[in-house]
Amino acid sequence: MNRFWNLTTNPDGERVLRLDGPLAEETWWGDEVTPKAFKDELFGGVGNVSVWINSIGGDVFAGAQIYNALKEYSTTGKGKVTVKVDAIAASASSVVAMAGDKVLMSPVSWLFIHNPSTMAIGDGAEMLRVKAMLDEIKESIINVYERKSHQTRAQISELMDQEKWINANEAVDYGFADGILYDEGTQFRVMNSLLRRITEKPPSTILNQTQNQLIRGTPYVELQQRQKRIQKFMEAGIYDQHL
């Protein structure tokens, strides 16, 4: 078993999970041992978890299962998950980073997102099958980025096509992160980021987006409250998609 994580508990009861280096040097595809060991250790305790990430990425299936484990930990009430990007969260590690209830970037850290890739041997038909597989993997990765950020699927796809390096300020602007570590000015920068987006998306688009989320399963009461806040700010001439 390739153990690439370290989980400890501070004296104050906070749990600290460190992901340093590649996520699984060998794929978790078909591996029943390593994912179970990771999840058993994570769920072996309770309390809020700080997840420090300094990883260039790795196996996309490992990234998916770590993401799922962290989301399940949070949504089942075991504790809140705060992701802290130490230096880099690249590739599959950037997917893991999106699992945080809150995502914080070091001011000297980066996210790196790109299209999935692999190696294949075979004839033309096999190459087409591999391409179809990669296209589906890309769509699943976009699912994660879309749920965290305010970007559209088309915008996220373009960023992946660009093999985009994203610094801390940009991560907050894009909505991939919620703030910046060690920075008392983070709240002001986040507010400025939101204000810049006011002119990018008219109120009708925001209301339509909210209505569409009802179809996708967002709780109705939450949507009602959000629509009331949007309407209130629209009437006052102020609006923002994160109200």
Q: Give the residue range(s) of CATH 3.90.226.10 domains in the chain.
A: 5-197
Please state, in angstroms and rounded to a whole number, the distance separating the CA atoms of residues 225 and 216.
17
Region at 175 (left for phi over 0; alpha for psi -120 to 50; beta for the rest): left
CATH 1.10.10.10 for the 5-197 domain, yes or no: no
Q: Are 85 and 109 in contact (CB under 8 A)?
A: yes
pLDDT per residue as tens digits for the range 37-92: 899 999 999 999 999 999 999 889 889 999 999 999 999 999 999 999 999 999 99
Does residue 84 sit in helix, strand or coil? strand
- Residues 6+ away with beta carbon under 8 Å from 70: 42, 49, 51, 81, 96, 99, 100
Collect the ranges in the chain with pLDDT lower than 70.
Answer: 1-2, 25-33, 184-243
First vs last C-alpha separation in the chain: 45
Q: Are 186 and 180 in contact (CB under 8 A)?
A: yes
pTM of the model: 0.74
pLDDT value for 150: 83
Q: Which residue has the tokens 């992160």?
A: 177
